[in-house]
Each structure stands twice: as C-alpha cells, then as structure tokens.
Amino acid sequence: MKIYLFIFVLYGAFELTPGLPDVVHIGGIFGPDDYDLELAFRYAVDRINMDRNLFPRGRLNPLIEKVSPSDSFQTAKRVCNMTEQGVAAIFGPSSRLTSSIVQSTCDTLEIPHLETRWDPKPHHRSCLLNLHPYPQSYSRALKDLLKAMQWKSFTIIYENNEGLVRLQEVLKAHGPSEYPITVRQLGEGHDHRPLLKQIQASSESHILLDCSVDKIAEILRQAKEDLHTVDVEEFRFGRTNITGFRMVDPQSTSLQNAVHDWQYEEVRFGRRINISPNTVRTETALMHDAVHLFARALVEMDRSHPINTSHLSCDAAEKWEHGYKLINYMKFMDRPGLTGHIRFDVYGKRVDFPLDIIELDRDGFVKTGFWDYRSGINYTRTETEKLTIISESLQNKTFIVSSRLGAPYLMEREPKGTFTGNDRYEGYSMDLIDEVSKILGFKYVFELVPDGRYGSLDPKTKKWDGLVKQLLEKKADLAICDLTITYSREQAVDFTMPFMNLGISILYSKPVKQPPNLFSFLSPLSVDVWIYMATAYLGVSVVLFVLARLTPYEWNNPHPCNPDPEELETQFNLLNCMWFAIGSLMQQGCDFLPKAVSTRMVAGMWWFFTLIMISSYTANLAAFLTVERMDVTIESAEDLAKQTKIKYGAVEGGSTAGFFKDSNFSTYQRMWSFMESARPPVFAKANSEGVERVSKGKRGYAFLMESTSIEYVVEKQCDLTQVGGLLDSKGYGIALPLNSPYRTAVSGAVLKLQEGGKLHMLKTKWWKEKQGGGLCKEEKSSSVESANELGLANVGGVFVVLISGMGAAAVVAVLEFLWNTKKVAVEDRTTFKAALQEELRFVLKCHGSTKPIQKAGAKEDSGGKSGGTGRGNSQGPYDKYGVVNKSSKSIVIPQAEYLNKK
C-alpha cells in the first residue's frame, strides 16, 4: 500500500510538470513609474516558485523591462529581446501606445500577452488576455447601481472620451421620458470650481464622477473603481454621500498577505512606495492575479501537453507552438484572485466579475453590498446595521432646518430682534425638531425659507419653489412646518412618517347672534301655517254652523217642561260655533257640545287637528326658545359650490389649492374654477391672511384650510368656526432630500415621539395652552348654560298678546256698556247722560253681586239674575245657559215647521 502510494506521488509529481523546462522565462514590461506593478509581478513569481505543490520542479524567471510609455520603438526592441530568450508569456505594459506594439508582436509570434490595463476600445486579438473588466460590463454595473439608488436626475462629469465608454450603458438606459440628465466634461487644469459651481446652481445633488484617481482628491474626493485609495478624511463628517465600486477588498486576508509580502519585497529592493491594503491599485492586484492565472494554466496544460519554450526572433516567421493553447487554457480557468473570481468569455473578455459597493461613513469606506453580472446589485447590510451606522454618523452633524413662519408651527419670539440663532423662533416645529435631535443626537440651525412658500412645482419651468427648492438645492437638510405630504412633492423630496394627521375643511365666521324676537312664540310655526290655521278655524266654524242647521238633532225644546213647544232652538249659531272652535283650539272646551253624529264628527276631527297642532307647536316652541337660532347659510363644501355670494379661497401654491386643482370630483372642479376666476383674487399668501379675510369678511368669505390650523384659529378667535367635515385625509411630514440616508432614522424618532405621547403633548401645548388657546371653550360652555333660561326677551310677546287681548276686551266691554246704557235711557225715558251716571255709579260701587231692575216697562229676563250683566236688560244677550238668546242671536223655529221637518 505504501509502495503504491509512493509511486502515485512520484507519478503525480512527474505528471504535474512533465515537459516544462527548469526555467520558464516570462516577460514583464512596465513604465518607469509602475513600481507597484513590477513589485506585484515579482512577488507573484516568487510565490509561485516557492509553491512546490504547484511548481515542484523548475521555476519561473521574470525578465523585466522598463520602457517609456510613449516610446514604441524601444518597446518593440525589448519585446523582441524577450522573445529571443524564449518567453512563455509577456505581461504589460500599461500604456496604450506601447501596449499595441507588444500586442502585435505577441500575436505574430503567438506568445500569450496578458494585460491588466483599462482598455476602452478592446480589439479582439487571439493571443491577448486582459484581466481588467470589460468596459461594457463595468458600464452595466454603474447602470445597475444608479437604478438601485433610485437616482432620477443627475449630472455626469467625465474626464475624457474613455470615460464616455464607461458610461455608455448609463446613457443608453436613460429614456427620453425620464428626468433630464446633464453630461459635463472636466476642463483642463486643476481648478474645477467653476464647473462645480454651475452644477450646484442647477440644484443638482447627484453627481456621477468619472475621472482618474489622482484627480478625485481635487474634485469632491469622489472616486469609482479605486475609491478606496482616496484620502477621504475630510469628507467623513460632511454632508456628502460617496458611493463607489471596488474590485479589491482591503480587508481580505489574501490581499493583506500579499501586501505584507510586497512591503517585504520593497525593503529587499530598496525602494519605498508606501504600499498598504488601502492604497493598492486595482491594476497592481490584477497583475498579481495575471501571473497566478498564467502559472496555473501552464501547469494544467503541461499535464496533458508537455510544454517547452522556443527562442523566437521577431524577424523570422516562426511561432510558439503552445501559445494559442495556453491562452485557451487561461480563458477557461475559473479561479479566485485578489480581484474576485477570474472568468472570461470565449473571446477572452472579463465580463463576469464581482465588484464591491462601498460607501463612505465615519470609519472610512465600508462595503455595503456587491454587484455581479448575473444578479446585479445586492446590498449586504441589514437594516439595523444601516440604522446604527446612520445614527452614529448623525452624532457630529449640524443640520440646517428650513422652515417658514406660521403660527403655531414657527413664530418669532417676542420682543423681536433681541434674540439670535435658534432662540429667535419658537413653536411646534422647533419643539419637534428639538425632540428628534435629542433622540438622534444631531445639532440643528433653523433658517427661514427666503420666498416663504411651502413648495410647489411650476408646470412650465418644472422648477420647485419654497421649502422643496431649499432641499433640492442642498441649502437645507430638513424642512419642517405644516408641510403636507403630497404625491408630487414625494417625487422631489423624501418625507418622514406623518407627525400630524388632518384634512381640508372650511373656516367661516360664526353667525351673528340674532336679538331675541318679541314674537318668537310665533316662530315654531311658519306664517303659512298660521294663516292656514286661521282659515281652518273659520272653515270649521262655518261647517259646524251649517251642519248644525241641517241636522235635526241639534234642535231642542227651549222649555223642556212644555212638551209641546212652539219653537225649537239650537245653540249652534255662528258665534257659538266660533266660540266652540276656539275653545277646542285653546284646549279649554266650552259648556255646550254637539249632539248629532255629523257635528260630533266635525268636532272630533277638529279636536284631533288641534291635538296634533298644539303638541307640535309646544314641542317646537321648546326647541325654539331654548336653542340659540343660528343663521347658518353654508354647512358643507357642496353648499359653497352651489352659491357665488360667499367667496372662498385657499393658500396660494399650497396643497389645499392643489387638491382642488387636481380633483376629479365635479363639485371640487367647479370650486376650483370659481376660485381661479374670482376677481379680486381669493387666494391668500399664508393661512394668517386667509383667517384675517374671513374674520373681516362679514360672512362674505370662507377659507379652505387644513383642519389642524382651523383648530388652532378657533381656539383663539371665537367669532370663527369650522364648517362641515373633512374633505380628505393626509398628514404633515418632515421633508428631507431625495434618498436621504437619514429618513428612516428621523421617521423612527417621530414614531417614538408619537408612541410616547410627546406629539400629543406638544400639540396641546401650542394649540390650547400657549398663545391664548382655549379662550373660546369657556365662552361656549357659558353660553350653553344660559341657553336653558328664557328671558323676557324670549317670551315678552305672549305678554303683549295678553295685554292687547285685555285691552280689546275692555274696549268691547265699554261699547257693550254704552250700548246698554243707551237702551236703558230709551226704556226709562231719561237722558243718556242720566242713565250713564246711574249705571256708572253702580259700576263704581264695586260691591254687591245683584243688580235691581228699576223700570216697570222692562221685560222679565233671566239675564237679570246673572249678577250684573246689565240693569233693565230686558233683551239681555245671554239666556239661562249663558248662550246668546233667541231675541238677540239664537235661532228659533216654530214647532209646526219643526214637525214638518220631522
């Protein structure tokens, strides 16, 4: 068993490098400054030579040539020297000019040529293998990154035409319907400030920078592929977010080991180039990978096809027989390197390669994800990690908070002009930001937005104004006020979770209190009903009168003791009918009642009618007298839309105006066209202006306003009120620039405040406690109490009616008295004056309930017994029943007639 194993090991060793010569020459051509490339090349060769597993016998021998990047002639000569010595491959150079000479020589002699340089226009050469990512694939990675970062508009800064090749996928992916992108070229020289200023003036905050590494430090210290080599110390705590790609991970053990050896090599060669994992260029790492790839392929191929090198002259037509095959072996190798997995397509392009996504944070650049050809962008940081990093980064930041004046969100502190900095202002917004800053640990400076507007998009210029503009121009990090979260604003900026919920409603003046009406007891029924009732009363009286005449059962014997009366009488003469009807209507009744079915039916119906009418009247009277009547003319937005007398408007450029403008609902559309066409204009610059207009408008102007602001106003201005409910439902949020990394953190803080009841406390503080809030609540409660008591003003009319009734009765009594006196004077054959004196004397005596009949001529009348109806009233108006008697108004018919009738 041991013997077999030994044989196998021997055989294996023999099989690994069966035909390779002891020394395999490989060429390296470098520019005079490419020390790091040379170092990597040498170190890789040393490593391979030391790896006896890989290379058990023989060794690689590096032939290094230094050539000037522009000297093609020298390069050609050096390459030919190398080929004459018999090289198995040539690595480098990194200059485009000299590289093409090497390419063509290698192609002619069929010697593998390995490159590590960025080649914007790669030509297909059968013996060439470039380990640098293929430009189009790199361009695709950039495109994927922009898509993942959701950049809509951005500016591309490129240095030269090579950069445009890198960016071609990005440019191609941007359709004509999308936001415009700007492409600018870096100027000559070192001063790029004019260009950067122009970009800043265009309020662009997203920049894609494509330039050489040494320029990045000058231009915002941004970078792409080699971002990790830039000294970014001065940007760590700034307001710039830098994202980039890298092929080499400075944290990887393989790179750190490699760099450690390079540093050793540096000492050995006596040159110091200060190489460290963070300063390794991609090209250097690629050179390391290229040599290892070559060595692996060489060993692999040698297993099946023994290889030996040939001394080839550039002038002869001879080629290296193994060249093509070796290149093909390299193409199909799939192995890890310092620059990720090395894979090629059939044309030798490095298409499928991994890239790390790196972002700048407090600790420098950190890996946040990776890109690969197949799956695109993959972020590897968890949400919690992201949040922690963001929270940490917030500690040293000072945010510029843009806001606008508007009570109670932000107000100038009194006395004005005596405070500086944040102390100049106070209000809900200030308190809220203060609470958020305490949670997240940032500092803040409040600044007022210059135009004082919320933020609306001009459809013509496509430009934003107000707070949104401040954020877009990067003049502010946060924007807060009563800023509504709307769809269009959400396209331009980011919003946190809403800190307040609201809807649009109507602010209007309260109805002016009507002075109590003397005749308010008439109010429960309308004038029409009063007239109808009077008519009904008369009608029923007449019907009763007619029916009573028709029916025989209402005709009675006036002298029940006389079984054979000559006359029959009825009580239902017209006056009695009216008395009966009014008695019922007043719920009092009277002392005679109908007997016949027909008249009883009339009476029943009338009683029913009066029952309902009187109960309705009583119920309504209670409501009318206790509840303050409001002269409400509008109760909803529909009511407003229906009329044109009361004007209405909203804040110009605000979300309320936007709601009506963009609404599909016909009522709101009508309201919008009314508002737009109204002259003088109905729009207000701010809520305060609209409120003033309502309060001075004498119910001629209503203001469409957000419910939270209405709540605040009606707490202090008791003449104003909210009319109707909410037309929509939305919220106020804190705005941040688009894709702001702080959104989640600030949102989280807002939620925390909400859950802890802090937001509610702040609202109570600024709405109800400060600035005269709660004033109108007291007024409301006291007015409710007084509503239950009725003053003379409410019921005075009833007294008036009573007094007038009394007066009228007195007048009638006087007339009756005078009429009777006149009759007495005639009967007594005395003068009217004497009779009047006599009668008055009796009246003024004021005692005695009997009245003597003095005149012999006077007819006997039962009326005399009635106690003071009238002296000598032989034809007194009332019979024994107290009913108007036959001689005056009662109706008597002869019995014959009565019998005939029967």
Sites of contact with ligand GLU (CB under 6 A): 454, 482-484, 650-651, 654-657, 705-706
Taking the C-alpha atoms of residue 663 and residue 676, their distance in angstroms, rounded to an integer, is 14
Query: Cα(755)–Cα(734) distance, rounded to whole angstroms?
Result: 17
The Cα 464–Cα 183 span in angstroms is: 22
With respect to ligand GLU, which residue has the nearer C-beta, 355 or 507?
Answer: 507
Q: Which is nearer to ligand GLU, 246 or 489 (CB)?
A: 489
Q: Which is nearer to ligand GLU, 219 or 705 (CB)?
A: 705
Q: Cβ closer to ligand GLU: 484 or 747?
A: 484
The whole-angstrom separation of Cα 600 and Cα 553 is 11
Q: Rank residues 146 and 705 by Cβ distance to ligand GLU and give the closer one.
A: 705
Rounded to an integer, what distance in angstroms lies between the CA atom of residue 49 and that of residue 108? 29
Minimum Å gap between C-beta 657 and ligand GLU is 6
Shortest distance, CB of residue 705 to ligand GLU, whole angstroms? 5
Smallest separation (angstroms) from ligand GLU to the CB of 152 = 22
Q: Which of residues 37 and 641 has its CB atom nearest to ligand GLU in the complex?
A: 641
- The total of other beta-carbon atoms located within 10 Å of residue 329's CB is 22
Long-range contacts of 538-543, Cβ-Cβ distance < 8 Å, separation of 24 or more:
538/578, 540/581, 540/602, 540/605, 540/606, 540/609, 541/574, 541/577, 541/578, 541/580, 541/581, 542/574, 542/577, 543/602
Residue in 44, 36, 80 with CA at minimum distance from that of residue 62 = 44
Q: Report d(CA 393, CA 613) in Å as an integer.
A: 79
Q: Quick one: tokens of 385?
A: 């990690």
How close are the terminal C-alpha atoms of the chain, in Å? 155
Question: In degrees, to the nearest 5, what angle opens at C-alpha 900 toward C-alphas 895 and 902?
Answer: 95
Give 508's strand partners.
Answer: 721
Q: How far is the CB of 346 from ligand GLU (least distance, A)?
A: 59
Q: Least distance to ligand GLU from the beta carbon of 504, Å? A: 7
Residues 6+ apart with CB under 8 A from 601: none
Q: 293 or 651, CB closer to ligand GLU?
A: 651
**H-assigned helices in 203-281:** 213-216, 253-269
DSSP state of 424: G
Q: Which is nearer to ligand GLU, 60 or 449 (CB)?
A: 449
Q: Give whichever of 442 and 767 is closer to ligand GLU, judged by the CB atom.
A: 767
Distance in Å, CB of 478 to ligand GLU, minimum: 15
Provide the b/e sequence for 175-192 (b: ≥16 CB within 10 Å).
Answer: eeeeeebeebebeeeeeb
Nearest distance from C-beta of residue 404 to ligand GLU, angstroms: 10
CA angle 371, 375, 376 (to 5 degrees): 40
Please say which residue, 228 or 693, places its beta carbon nearer to ligand GLU.
693
The minimum distance between CB 136 and ligand GLU, in angstroms, equals 46
Residue nearest ligand GLU (C-beta atom) = 654
Cβ(43)–Cβ(112) under 8 Å?
Answer: no
CA–CA distance, 282 with 247 (Å, rounded to integer): 7
Q: Find the helix or strand (DSSP H, E) in which 301 lies.
A: helix 282-304
Cβ proximity to ligand GLU: between 498 and 697 the closer is: 498
Q: Least distance (Å) from ligand GLU to the CB of residue 498?
A: 12
What would the two tokens of residue 48 be? 């391979």
Rounded to an integer, what distance in angstroms lies between the CA atom of residue 302 and that of residue 282? 30
Closest approach of ligand GLU to the CB of residue 180, in Å:
26
Nearer to ligand GLU, 505 or 610 (CB): 505
Count CA atoms within 13 Å of residue 636 on its CB side.
6
Least Cβ distance, residue 729 to ligand GLU (angstroms): 14
Q: Of 82 and 651, which CB lies nearer to ligand GLU in the complex structure?
A: 651
The residue (of 145 and 691) whose beta carbon lies closer to ligand GLU is: 691
Do residues 229 and 279 touch, judged by C-beta distance below 8 A? yes
- Give the nearer residue to ligand GLU in terms of CB position, either 354 or 498: 498
Lateral strand order in the sheet of 647-649: 647-649, 701-706, 504-509, 720-723
Q: At closest approach, how far in Å is the CB of 785 from ligand GLU?
A: 35
Task: Determine contact, residues 885/877, Cβ cutoff 8 Å.
Answer: yes
Q: Nearer to ligand GLU by C-beta: 93 or 654? A: 654
Cα(37)–Cα(92) distance, integer angstroms: 9
Q: What is the nearest approach in angstroms of ligand GLU to the Cβ of residue 651?
A: 4
Instruction: Using alpha carbons only, give the angle 228, 232, 233 rounded to the nearest 5 degrees.
Output: 130
What is each CA distance from 462 to 155, 458, 476, 656, in whole angstroms? 17, 5, 20, 20
Per the CB < 8 A criterion, the answer to whether 377 and 371 are in contact is yes
DSSP assignments along 841-893, one per residue: HHHHH---S------TTSPP-GGGGGSSS-TT-TT-SB-TTSSBPTTTT-EEE
Distances (CA, A) of 740 to 97, 240, 241, 492: 44, 11, 9, 12
Sign of CA dihedral 490, 495, 497, 498: negative
Least Å distance, CB 191 to ligand GLU, is 41
Nearer to ligand GLU, 661 or 823 (CB): 661
The distance of closest approach from Cβ of residue 746 to ligand GLU in the complex, given in angstroms and rounded to an integer, is 18
Minimal distance, residue 392 CB to ligand GLU, in Å? 32
Minimum Å gap between C-beta 687 and ligand GLU is 6
